[in-house]
Amino acid sequence: MCTTMLTDFQKKKIARLFQFYDANGNGVIEAEDIDEIAQQFGQEFGWAIASPEDRKFRATFKQFWRKLIMSVDSNDDQKVNLEEFYAAYEASLSSEENYETLVRPFLDNLFPVIDSDNDGAWSKDDFIKFYRGFRSSSEAAERNFKRLDLNSDGVLSKEEIYLHFHDFHMSQDEQVAGTVFFGEL
C-alpha cells in the first residue's frame, strides 16, 4: 500500500474528527452513530424526517460510512475504531489528489445543507447549529467562528469553509485557523 504516515498533529485532528462521528461516545463508529448524528442535526436545523435536507444529510453520512467500512474495517465487526479510522485517513490524506477525490466530496454534500438560506455562506447561526449537531457548545462555535471568519464580514463564505476544511485535513501548520474547524483539539 502506498500511504504516508500521518503526523502527530494530523493524528490529533483526526482523533477530533473521530469524536465528531462517534456520537454515542463508546469508542467505535458504528451505524447507530450515523443515525444519531442525523437526528441531532435534524433537531438543530428543524428538518422533518424524510425532508429533502434530512435525506441529503443521511445519504452523505451513509455514503461516508459505507466507504469507511469497506476500506478499513479490518476485523470485519462493522465498527470502526480509532486505529482503523487513522488507517482510512492515512490513505485519503496521502496526497492532494486523494484529498480531492476522497475527502472533499463530503464537504460538497455537507456545505449546502448547513447553508440553510442557500446564499452560498454559513451564517453564525448555521455554524452554531452545526457545532451543536455534533454535541459541541454554542460558546465553542462563537469562539471558532471568529477565527474562521478570515475577512470578518460576519459569515463563513464557501471559499473560507473550503479552505478551512482543507487545512484541517492537510495542513501541518498548527496556527492556521482551519485547525479548529471541528473544535479545539
Residues that bind Ca ion (CB under 5 A): 22, 24, 26, 33, 73, 75, 77, 79, 115, 117, 119, 121, 149, 151, 153
CB of 127 to Ca ion, least distance (A): 10
| Residue found by looking up cell 442525523 in the block | 38
All three cell numbers of 86, joined, read 487513522
| Residue found by looking up cell 469524536 in the block | 19
CB of 26 to Ca ion, least distance (A): 4
Q: How far is CA 57 from CA 3, 41, 103, 111, in A?
A: 30, 9, 16, 10
Please, which residue, 101 or 138, has the CB nearer to Ca ion? 138
CB of 43 to Ca ion, least distance (A): 18
CB of 76 to Ca ion, least distance (A): 7
Q: How far apart are CA 184 and CA 143, in angstroms?
A: 10
Please, which residue, 54 or 149, has the CB nearer to Ca ion? 149
Please, which residue, 33 or 54, has the CB nearer to Ca ion? 33
Q: Which helix (H) or strand (E) holds 122?
A: strand 121-123
